[in-house]
Structure 1
Amino acid sequence: MGLDPHQLRDLIIRPTLQRLGYWTEAAEELVLGTAIQESGLRFVRQLGSGPARGLWQMEPATHDDLWLNYLNSRTKIGLNVLGPYSKPDAGRLVWDLGYACAMCRVHYLRCPGVLPAAGDHEGQAAYWKRWYNTALGAGTIEQYLANWQRVMGNA
């Protein structure tokens, strides 16, 4: 049994995205769907020997690249992501849900195009696959949709 997805959305995702200034209903759904797909809302470390961390299963190399090549030149959002801490640390992806959520949203911020609309789960699954999981990743659009349905039903 994992985290309650409604509590994760209402108590972590929405307030985090609002604090960053990048909340939309579509972004909220995509970030929630990414956590559902990536960790099943259960795992904070990649199973096996993989490096991914947190509910959003972000690899430390991706985390560091986001800071070096995106957040480094965007001081305001970078400070909002850091919160009370003074420097980025990929280890926080495991124990700080707000930080890991913020880094997932930042990952999507640097992707081109508009986020799929709220309720467009097929579009969100395709967007996740293209920009988060990538063509080389093992996840599929069908898995994303099945996992969303299993956890959220028609919500």
Structure 2
Amino acid sequence: MGIAAYDLSQHVIRPTLIYLGRHSPSAEALLLGAAASQSDLGSALDDSRGYGLYRIAALRHQQLWDRHLALDPELASQVRGLASQHAFLAAPHLELTVNLRYATAIAWLMVEAQKSPLPAADDLLGLARVWQQVFQPRGRLRDFIEAWKRCVGNVSQVA
């Protein structure tokens, strides 16, 4: 059993996006759908394909820091502020599993780095396309939509 979609959205995704100054209903819906399709909203966090709620691979995590966050020290500092003080230094990728706000910030910045325009929050097919481009290049659009229906349900519950 994972995290309830409403709780994840209200207590993790939305506050993290607001903290980053990047909140929108579409961003919130995309990350909720990504968490649903990647890990069934946290039902399975331990996976060889990646870490945590969004299944972010260690290499992608490192590349985001090297190619995106390193170019914006203010944003890097803001994101680093979400990480655990000592644990991040010892095992930065593990932070993606144990720290939901940090993982959410990294997941959003992966989307941002891809420069994909976001569809409307209720456009599941459009959200699925962005998910596929950013999180699962070999994934099927219907996997995102089915995970959404299974884990999230009604779009109006989110925004």
TM-score (norm 1): 0.90
Aligned equivalents of 1:75 and 1:19: distance in 2?
A: 16
The structural deviation recorded for 1:119 is: 0.7
Aligned equivalents of 1:145 and 1:15: distance in 2?
A: 24
Matching of residue 116 in structure 1 with residue 119 in structure 2? yes
The answer for the alignment partner of 2:135 in structure 1 is: 132
Question: Structure 2 unaligned runs (5+)?
Answer: none
Superposition pairs of residues 63-142 of structure 1, within 5 angstroms: 63-83=61-81, 85=85, 89-134=92-137, 137=138, 139-142=139-142
**Which secondary structure does the structure 2 equivalent of 1:106 belong to?**
helix
Question: Structure 1 unaligned runs (5+)?
Answer: none
Matching of residue 40 in structure 1 with residue 43 in structure 2? no
User: Are the aligned partners of 2:36 and 2:152 in contact in 1 as well (CA < 8 Å)?
Assistant: no
Aligned equivalents of 1:101 and 1:82: distance in 2?
A: 12
1:38-71 Cα distance to aligned partner (Å, 9 max, x none): 001111121xxx2410100000000000000000
Which one-letter code corresponds to 2:65 in the other structure?
Answer: W
The structural deviation recorded for 1:113 is: 3.4
TM-score (norm 2): 0.88
**Which secondary structure does the structure 2 equivalent of 1:147 belong to?**
helix
User: Are the aligned partners of 1:26 and 1:117 in contact in 2 as well (CA < 8 Å)?
Assistant: yes
The structural deviation recorded for 1:7 is: 0.2
Aligned equivalents of 2:22 and 2:93: distance in 1?
A: 21
Q: Write out the 4+ residue segments of structure 1 that deviate beyond 2 Å after TM superposition.
A: 84-88
| Identity over aligned pairs, percent | 30
- Relative contact order (alpha carbons < 8 A, sep ≥ 6): 1 or 2 greater? 2
User: Are the aligned partners of 1:51 and 1:60 in contact in 2 as well (CA < 8 Å)?
Assistant: no
Aligned equivalents of 1:126 and 1:145: distance in 2?
A: 10
